[in-house]
Amino acid sequence: MRRLELRPIVIALVAAFALAGSVIAPAQAAPATALSIRSSVSEVTAVQQANVACAAGRSNFSRNESCIVQEAIGYVFNGARLVGLFSFNVTHQMKLNTKSLKWSETIKITDVHLYRDANGIRVGLAATCGGTCTTVNRFPQQRVLGARDISGKVYYTETVAKHQRDTTNASYTLTFTKPGGYSIDQSTYASESFRCDDTFWSRDNTRRTQRAGCVFPAYTPTLMTMKSLKWIATNIRTVQARGGYGRQGSGLPLHREADRTKADANRRAVCGGQAPPAPNLSCDEYPFATTKEGGTALPASSRGIAWVPADEQDAQGGRINAFQKQQRLLDNDAFWVQV
């Protein structure tokens, strides 16, 4: 157990002891004789990161993994008198499975600091999820805070029907108890939203082209496999230089068009009726026909076509399709293109 190795936020509260003569009125004043604990968990905004790092002060997420580190802080009151403080980090590391509806999360309570009458507090954690998602909680319950780091797992299972999706998140409740007649306190917070779907099926709907799975839909993935297609990559760079669509940093991502009929119409709108200038050439369009920005959706200055080797064009379609499956890109999902 570590004592008096206090973080800046706790140091400020300790200073408040002296300034207020050890009396701090809670937001909702307790009876003069009530023994109570008041806690809160910091709200954090996770940033998108292709390679997730799990460390204090770094809350980030990718398409299938997240690591959120939040600070919890608590106050121990005897009536209106503040008699103790505690703080700790709670780390949530969740790794979704893009080809399964089952996954797990590791939760750790670390870096515990106790001050004055904050000893003996026991902590529990409940984890639930909404929609058609269920949990099995294997996080240790009612361990004494500060005795040692506390670590456990939560297991998740989703259920989605054919061609359906479910978007929800995990909800957590930390519960604090202390012997001696103290009231029970709770703090709640939530995970990054995740989405599970079973939407990748053949045209005739008789077989899956990708098993059901889950992602963090707020993450915008990047298509990078066009780089090695020399002539297609050149066309993409040329168009991106004019309009910016699909280029990282432009603020203008592309969005998937999942309707095959609309994608075919996009292709015809810009390449239909044109004869190749030489054998074995194929019309390549950017933005791709399989995007909402395809066809004539954008002004002419922000789109373009080029005649490229037919084998490159054939390879491009397969690579885009593989990317959509790998990242579980659904209709209107955003993505970048890097060449």
Domain boundaries, the chain: 8-197, 220-337
- Please list, residue by residue across 205-243, b when 16 or more beta carbons sit within 10 angstroms of its beta carbon and e when fewer do: eeeeebebbbbbbebebebebbeebebbbebbeebbeeb
When pLDDT is cut at 50, 70 and 90, the band that residue 32 belongs to is very low
Predicted local confidence at residue 273, as pLDDT: 86
pTM (predicted TM-score): 0.88
What are the tens digits of pLDDT across the range 256-294? Answer: 999 999 999 999 999 998 899 999 999 999 999 999 999
Predicted local confidence at residue 54, as pLDDT: 85
What are the tens digits of pLDDT across the range 42-74? Answer: 888 889 998 898 877 779 999 999 999 999 999
Predicted local confidence at residue 15, as pLDDT: 55
Q: What is the mean pLDDT of residues 232-242?
A: 97
What are the tens digits of pLDDT across the range 76-117? Answer: 999 989 999 999 999 999 999 999 999 999 999 999 999 999
